Amino acid sequence: MSHNSASPGHCRSPLSALLAASRMLTLLLISFLLLGGYFQYIRTVEAALNERWTPDAGARLFSERPLPPFIEESAITTYALPLHTSGRDVVDATGRRFKFASVNWYGASDEIFVPGGLDVQHRSVIARTIRLLGFNSVRLPYADEMVIENPHVLPHLLTANPDLVGMRALDIYAACVEALTDAGIAVIINNHITTATWCCGADPCDSGWANDHLGPICRVSQSEEDWIQHWETVMQRFVDNPLVIGADLRNEVRGAWGTMPWSRWAAAAENCGNRLLRMNRDWLIIVGGTESNNDLSGVRLRPVELDVKNRVVYSAHIYAWSGWGSKEGRYSKRSYASFTQAMRHNWAYLVEDDVAPVWVGEFGAPRHPGLGDINYWDNLLRYLKKLDADFAYWAINPRKPHDNVLETYSLVEDDWLTPILDYRMRDMTELIAGSNRDEWLKDYNEEL
């Protein structure tokens, strides 16, 4: 047999080849159709989530009424200090629960090195506005760069506070703390970011408390010891102010694709927390979860333990876009059952099982929300009310530091005086009232 002869078993007729090619083309066509249908479905879902929400009757009615009065018994000045933890609660020396009803006031962690609004209102007026909104505490962020550089703040950022013109950033920060505590508002100091800029992006230099392992790529470089020393510099000014009640050690610790081990962060938090407690053993030490404060599940096996007992408060951040990497998708898309399941897994088990306090240190929604925003908000506030949770809304500021653009999550108008009475303040007013919500609503309606 010739070596060039084809074996019958390997012969393929032109018709067979054509059928095989046809099947391949059909499979490719079906795949493209399915893929196109999937992307069209995603576009449709996203478009639906972004559709503008029309305020319901309850939100419209709330916006037409006067702002409910501050609940005087919630003020930190009515408590027997110092505070400590007991199970899921923060309590005073008599065992009375102090519920964090907080708002974030940002700016000192950004490029301008100063809390926002000091060009519009005196800091004491801003403090009174915060109290009139019903909040009993403020989370006040700072950047490590502010501590390192401690620059003079530009005068045009202080036009409503002429007594602060010519002062450095740390002095102005301390003056704002004093204004808050003089108004009877508790203050939680927050180390927000390393480089003074808007948080949080993908820059690995700002993803954790230390970045010296990254070498020269970071404009502002610091070790863990540097970070702790910055904390000591900031907190030294407040050692004798009893209304500065705690230190929120670091904002939104994270690693690329979930690579930040909880155990590593917990050890650093213990190191820093113990150093601060040597300065003042009465401070609460607040430790956020990993994955941008989303995940506290590691506490189950590895709690944070400090030299002074009953000082650890954990913190979680929850936004509409949170949960984006999971099978169930972002929180804006989820059902209440799916949402609460994630909350219990991530952090709420600590509250429900009476293990430790969890302060929801950031959450928020826009003034003019889409349907996805409202779905997230309704699910979250329903759950927070059920838990009677400690919280801090992001944020009061009507404008962002960079380019002075509008802050869509703001609770006040540009004058830093006029409250935005919408669905958010309606729900937070009920959340502030907490376990006395029904009685408070009854009294409020009767007064009107």
Burial of 128 (0-12, 13-18, 19+ CB in 10 A): middle
The reported pLDDT for the residue numbered 1 is 43
Tokens of 231: 């904390």
In tens digits, what is the pLDDT along the chain, a chain of 448 residues? 444 444 444 455 777 777 767 777 777 777 677 766 644 545 555 566 788 888 888 899 999 999 999 999 999 999 999 999 999 999 999 999 999 999 999 999 999 999 999 999 999 999 999 999 999 999 999 999 999 999 999 999 999 999 999 999 999 999 999 999 999 999 999 999 999 999 887 789 999 999 999 999 999 999 999 999 999 999 999 999 999 999 999 999 998 766 789 999 999 999 999 999 999 999 999 999 999 999 999 999 999 999 999 999 999 999 999 986 667 789 999 999 999 999 999 999 999 999 999 999 999 999 999 999 999 999 999 999 999 999 999 999 999 998 889 999 999 999 999 999 999 999 999 999 987 666 656 665 665 5
CATH code at 56-447: 3.20.20.80
Spans of all domains in the chain: 15-46, 56-447
> Which residues are CB-contacts of 430 (< 8 A; sequence separation ≥ 6)?
385, 437, 440, 441
What does the angle CA 158 – CA 395 – CA 75 come to, to the nearest 5 degrees? Answer: 90
What CA–CA distance (Å, rounded) separates 247 from 91? 17
Q: Identify the DSSP state of 440.
A: H
> Which residues are CB-contacts of 241 (< 8 A; sequence separation ≥ 6)?
177, 178, 181, 187
